[in-house]
Amino acid sequence: MSEIQVGQINSTDGSTAITTGADGYVSFAKTQIGGRRNLIINGAMQVWQRGDFSVSDRGYFADRWKDYFNPGTSASQLTSGLPDGFSSGVSYESDTATVLRFEQRIEGDTSTILNNKQATFSFYVKGSTSLDGVTVNATLGVASTKDDFSTVTVVANGSFMALSESWQRYEATLDLTGVDVSNGLSARIATGNCTVGSILYITGVQLEVGSVATPFEHRSYGEELAACFRYYFRMHPTGNYTRYADGYWTNANNASVNVYFPVPMRANPEIDTTGVANDYIIINGGSVYNLTSLPTFNRGTQTADGSCIFANILATSTSNGTAGNATQLASLAGGNWVGDFLGFQAEL
Amino acid sequence: MEQRNITSAQYATDPLDGSNVSITAIIDGKQWSVPLDPANTTYAEIMRQVEAGELIIQEAES
């Protein structure tokens, strides 16, 4: 067996690419092979806190993934027929729209690493028969001000690839030379024109520094879930009177309860509910009462950087409380809790 | 620019001091309780529409 002992390997421009230490450790100057290469959260579409997505929802499907300018689509989790090594993906269908497009918004503090560099966008994709030959491509857009995506300017377009009914890996290097992306990035994927009923299947989305598409960086479900909690957190009842929050009655009508988040949220979050007040109950002693209006956000307790660690919310049930009594906000009983939830959203 | 369809908005108050603390809004047909936090994207969108004269936030019920 032949051996080469080497302390350093240079790239073609003479700069250090790989350094090997006497202790056997190896460092890569461009960090293409180390962990945490992927700037995308939930790139393998494993986390679906909100569940499947219908045309009326217009927003998020798999955590962190959002349709844009495109209310005519529906999405569901794909759990079979995936590329080797993947357990989840998305099935994204055109109900009325003629283009399928969605995005993930990346915070400026994260995207800054791509300033003035090459970025490589990759994902696994296939289409239904009606998408044969239709193109798919990736683009990158920059937020107008720090973490404000109300206006996005597209700064780089990836090459176009024709879809087929077999999984292919899309790979495109986007040139961000001279571009400041520290306000935050919108990482977008879009098809060309398609017919109603067309379905796009996709997983393994990765955005990384450099001009090479490295293998998809698999992260554990727990890691991805924790990363998603920064932007959205939803509690689901698992039985009668599942407790969401603890607190006390401020008077006969109102209770003040706190929800503690498993991960500090990006900002004070808005409250996401079923939209039906009497899907929620509040406890006074041994009795439970339906809310008469949906819970409202009261105060957020934040860390110095503005992340929200817990939210105080108000629950109202007319004339059923005893001021000063402890209470809990909970789900319904008798099986009527199925499908209910209480969520918190601090997306970009 | 993507604009969300906000059809109503009303302040809600903290019962301890009566100050405005959130906005109850109907957005794309669904009710949300939105904190008064400029870093919250939905609050920022509400205020953008208010400044553009497209939305009025009602005072809290007394």
Nearest by Cα to A289 from A324, A249, A261: A249
**Residue A104's Cα: distance from chain center in Å?**
7
Per-residue pLDDT tens for B4-34?
Answer: 889 999 999 999 999 999 999 999 889 999 9
To the nearest whole angstrom, how far is the Cα of B57 from the nearest Cα of chain A?
A: 16
Backbone angles phi, psi at B40, to 5 degrees: -80, 120
Interior angle at CA A60, CA A54 and CA A61, nearest 5? 60
The closest alpha carbon to A130, from A203, A196, A75, A202, belongs to: A196
At A255 the pLDDT is 97
A346 part of contact set with chain B, CB < 8 Å: yes
Cβ neighbours of residue A276 under 8 Å, at least 6 residues apart? Answer: A294
Q: Which residues pair with B32 in a beta bridge?
A: B25
For A302, name the nearest residue in chain B, comparing CA atoms only: B37
CA-based nearest distance A275→chain B, Å: 6
Predicted local distance difference test score (pLDDT) of residue A67 = 87
Query: Is A185's Cβ below 8 Å from some Cβ in B?
Result: no
Residue of A nearest to B22 (CA): A297
Q: Cβ–Cβ of B22/A273 closer than 8 Å?
A: no
Give the pLDDT score at A195: 92
The alpha carbon dihedral of A110, A111, A112, A114 has a sign of positive
Which residue type occupies A204? G
A168 reaches B (C-beta below 8 A): no
**Tokens 């009668």 -> residue:** A240
Asked if the Cβ–Cβ distance from A147 to B14 is below 8 Å, we say no
Task: State the best of A296, A308, A329, A341 to mutate against chain B, taking most chain B CBs within 10 Å.
Answer: A296
Interface check B49 vs A, CB under 8 A: no
User: What pTM was estimated for this model as a whole?
Assistant: 0.92
ipTM over 0.85: yes
The answer to whether A299 contacts chain B (CB < 8 Å) is yes
CA distance A24 to A5: 11
Beta-carbon contacts of A76 under 8 Å, excluding residues fewer than 6 positions away, are A52, A53, A61, A90, A91, A93
pLDDT for B1 beyond 70: no
Q: Which of A58, A299, A348 sits opposite B28 (nearest CB)?
A: A58
CA distance A89 to A124: 9
Q: How many CB atoms lie within 10 A of CB A222?
A: 8
CA distance B5 to chain A (A): 11
Q: Which residues of A touch B9 (CB under 8 A)?
A: none
Q: What is the DSSP annotation of A28-59?
A: ETT-SSSS-----SSTT----TT--B-TTT-S
**Residue A205 is inside which H or E element, if any?**
strand A199-209
Q: Is the pLDDT of residue B50 over 70?
A: yes
Which residues in chain B touch residue A275, judged by CB atoms under 8 angstroms apart? Answer: 30-31
- The amino acid at A244: Y
C-alpha–C-alpha distance, residues A38 and A231, integer Å: 18
Instruction: Walk along chain A (348 residues) and give the pLDDT tens digit of each residue.
Output: 788 888 889 988 898 888 777 777 666 766 556 678 899 999 999 999 998 876 555 689 999 999 877 667 889 999 999 999 999 999 999 988 788 999 999 999 999 999 999 999 999 999 999 999 999 999 999 999 999 999 999 999 999 999 999 999 999 999 999 999 999 999 999 999 999 999 999 999 999 998 888 889 999 999 999 999 999 999 999 999 999 999 999 999 999 999 999 999 999 999 999 999 999 999 999 999 999 999 999 999 999 999 999 999 999 998 889 999 999 999 999 999 999 999 999 999
- Rounded CA separation B55/B40 (Å): 18
Angstrom CA distances, A324 to A32, A89, A255, B18, B52, stand at 58, 48, 9, 19, 43
Contact between A111 and A39 under an 8 Å Cβ cutoff? The reply is yes
CA geometry: angle at B50 spanning A256 and B18, to 5°?
A: 30
- Report d(CA B55, CA B49) in Å as an integer: 5
The whole-angstrom separation of Cα B28 and Cα A203 is 28
Q: Residue A76 corresponds to which amino acid?
A: S
Beta carbons of B12 and A296 less than 8 Å apart: yes
Is residue A310 less than 8 Å (CB to CB) from chain B?
no
Of A250, A294, A297, Cβ closest to residue B15 = A250
Concatenated DSSP letters of A52-114: -B-TTT-SBSSTT-EE-S--SEEEEEE-SSPPTT---EEEEEESS-SS-EEEEEE-HHHHGGG
Calpha distance A49→A58 (Å, rounded): 15
Contact of B1 with chain A, judged by CB distance below 8 Å, is answered with yes
Burial of A319 (0-12, 13-18, 19+ CB in 10 A): exposed
Out of B22, B30, B41, name the one closest to residue A347 (CB): B41
User: B41 and A149: CB-CB below 8 Å?
Assistant: yes
